[in-house]
Amino acid sequence: MSTPQTTAAGKVLKVLSVFDREHQAHTLSEIAQRTGLPLSTAHRVVAELAAWGAVERGEDGSWHIGLRLWEIASGCPRTQILRDVALPFMQDLYEATHENIQLAVREGTELVFVERIAGHRSVELLTSVGTRFPIGSTGMGRVLLAHATRDIQEAVLESPLPTWTPHTVTDPDTLRAQLEGIRREQVFVSDRQLSETTVAVAAPVRVGRTGPVTAALGIIIAARDARRSRGLREPVLRAAFEISEELGRRARTAD
């Protein structure tokens, strides 16, 4: 029986997996080297993907992800309804603050950012739509971790936690107590955990008032304005609650 790495689909997935935020373009030789595929095989797979529109060739001859693949990914049912519901409330929150507003979901032990609103005056971020981070590394991630299943929490707490800044909490006992506080207060202020220049205020998004946590909503401000974070707790909580209410209404309508 063929293994996933030797099937046609496995080879396609290996080629697509070499592209990410940090490696957006590759030459054919680089694709072959990174996938471990023979150059002739890599050439054939890339040609088939290009014909379909999954990859495109730049003016310099390197390959990058094509528009066709983005169009398909944007229709992911798990995030499409969430983004459609959340966006108007995120826009209201942005108009009230003119700061970065982000929406994220959990996938395993990772955080994936699925929507963002930012202005030209907003603080520069390490994150963007589609970016993944270890779930314990960001304020929004810790909100999601606090409401994750026990096995996910323990998997994160029992693994080495990455240190992003001198302020990053990596001690498992301290983080466990922090997660308890998040569940109790329903809002979390993350002070320079991922970047020394940013502070995040995050809250959980549920399906209905008491349904499961499906996402996290966050507002990210410059660390120099950290004193503003206390005043942002209520707006973020209110927006997260409104998104939750609308998600719950749509879920009831669909039943």
pLDDT at 2: 45
Q: Which CATH superfamily is domain 77-254 in?
A: GAF domain (3.30.450.40)
Residues in the chain: 255
Domain ranges of the chain: 8-72, 77-254
Taking 80 as the threshold, does the pLDDT of residue 122 lie above it? no
Report the topology of domain 8-72: Arc Repressor Mutant, subunit A (1.10.10)
Q: Give this prediction's pTM.
A: 0.72
pLDDT tens readout for residues 125-178 = 666 777 888 998 889 999 999 999 999 999 999 999 888 889 988 999 999 999
Give the orientation angle of helix 8-16 with respect to helix 39-52, to 10 degrees.
Answer: 80
What average pLDDT does the segment 212-227 reach? 90
Run of H or E residues at 200? strand 198-206
For residue 36, with 0-12 CB atoms within 10 Å meaning exposed, 13-18 middle and 19 or more buried, which class applies? exposed
What gap in Å lies between CA 189 and CA 75, rounded to an integer?
A: 32
